Amino acid sequence: MSIKLLNFTNFLFCSECTSTNLLLHEVMTKNRLSGTPLPDGAGLFTCFQKAGKGQGNHSWHGQAGKNILVSFYFSPTMSIEQQFLFNMAFSLGVRAFVSRYIVSPVKIKWANDIYVNHRKIAGILISHHWQQGKTIDTIAGVGININQDRFPENLPNPTSLLAEDGVYRDILLLLLQLQKDINVFYQKLKQGEVEALKAEYSSYLYGLNEWHPYLIRGEKTEARVLGVDDFGRLSLETIHGALHFYDPRDIQYLYPVGRVDYR
């Protein structure tokens, strides 16, 4: 497996790999041991992931060379209690990027997906590494469907930029724009614009103030999203008027036709 530095700033490239998150973690560790730590915001992208990971036990499916498959390295200064603030900023950056090319509203489906017209166009996977209660490293990976026009039949609701508007796009040019959009929100986080990030993140939540069927801890019910708390838990109000905060493992999104969306 060959990794090379591209001619533009802070990007490594590997033609294929098991997972960009895993590979970037290896690079990060080796660079630190050699005394040359990765710069904040450095990225590693690939044309194909042989075992791309999603949240939990889910995997990421993509056609080789047709999508953005990239992981970024960051070194934010946060406590464990603040980690979801980074997730908010990164999700907002990805959402802003997708919205450049999509006329329809682009939503953040808690906790780690980007949706267009009730269909998944991007998935995010973030891992934080801690030392003495503070972040020392964060690796944030994202897969964005760009030029893919066919998907596995077992995926319930995928889409891509191509599927939305029929336009083929240059992956490398889009990759540079993605880096810029993510950095805009990362800088807001570093500058302490916490309340503004929270408000913007909440405003783009998929299902906000809309009644939908959910499977909550094994029980089917109607509920609506009210927001997300500081710990990244989803606030839901059920049809019975109960208010609860939930972790991702507690909830499955149910569609009216009875399909269960993967997280």
Highest mean pLDDT: which of 31-35, 48-52, 77-81? 31-35
> Domain for residue 8, yes or no?
yes
> How much of the chain is helix, strand and coil, in % rounded to 5?
25, 35, 35
* Distance between CA atoms of residues 102 and 80, nearest Å: 35
**Domain check: are 115 and 27 in the same one?**
yes
Residue type, 193: E
Residues 75 and 161 in one domain: yes
What the block records as the tokens of 189 is: 């986080």
Residues 70 and 15: their CA atoms lie apart, in Å, by 12
pLDDT of residue 79: 85
3-class secondary-structure state, position 239: coil
CA 151: distance to chain centroid?
19
The answer on pLDDT for 100 being more than 50 is yes
Residues 238 and 167 in one domain: no
Nearest to 251 by CA among 205, 209, 211, 214: 214
| Helix ranges restricted to H, the chain | 20-33, 83-99, 161-165, 171-190, 194-203
Separation of first and last alpha carbons in the chain: 30
Q: With bands split at pLDDT 50, 70 and 90, how would you rate the model's confidence at 258?
A: very low
The Cα 263–Cα 260 span in angstroms is 9
Q: Which two tokens stand for residue 59?
A: 């995997």
pLDDT > 70 fraction of the chain, expressed in percent and rounded: 88
Question: How many Å apart are CA 193 and CA 23, to the nearest integer?
Answer: 31
pLDDT of residue 85: 94
Residue 222: phi and psi, rounded to 5, are -95, 140
Kindly report, residue by residue over 119-175, the tens digit of the pLDDT.
999 999 999 988 887 777 999 999 999 999 888 888 878 999 999 999 999 999 999
158 and 38 in a single domain? The answer is: yes
pLDDT band at 56 (very low <50, low <70, confident <90, very high): very low
37 and 95 assigned to the same domain: yes
Strands (E), 99-241: 106-109, 113-116, 119-131, 134-145, 211-216, 219-228, 234-238
Render pLDDT for 129-139 as a digit per residue (tens, 0 to 9): 888 877 779 99
Domain shared by 136 and 241, yes or no: no
pLDDT at 84: 93
Both 155 and 243 in a single domain?
no
At 4 the pLDDT is 52
For the chain, what is the domain count? 2
Residue 22 has pLDDT above 80, yes or no: yes
The mean predicted confidence, pLDDT, of the chain is 87
DSSP, collapsed to helix, strand or coil, labels residue 33 as helix
Domain region containing 220: 211-253
How far is residue 253's CA from residue 230's CA, in Å, rounded to a whole number?
A: 22
Q: What is the pTM of this model?
A: 0.89
184 and 225 belong to one structural domain: no
Tens-place pLDDT, residues 214-248:
999 889 999 999 999 988 999 999 988 889 999 98
Task: Kindly calculate the radius of gyration of the chain based on its CA atoms and give it in whole angstroms.
Answer: 18
Within-domain flag for 148: yes
Q: Using alpha carbons, select from 27, 36, 28, 129 the residue that is nearest to residue 78.
A: 129
pLDDT cut 90: percent of the chain above it: 63
Q: What is the rounded CA–CA span in Å between residue 84 and residue 38? A: 22
Cα separation, 41 vs 48, whole angstroms: 21
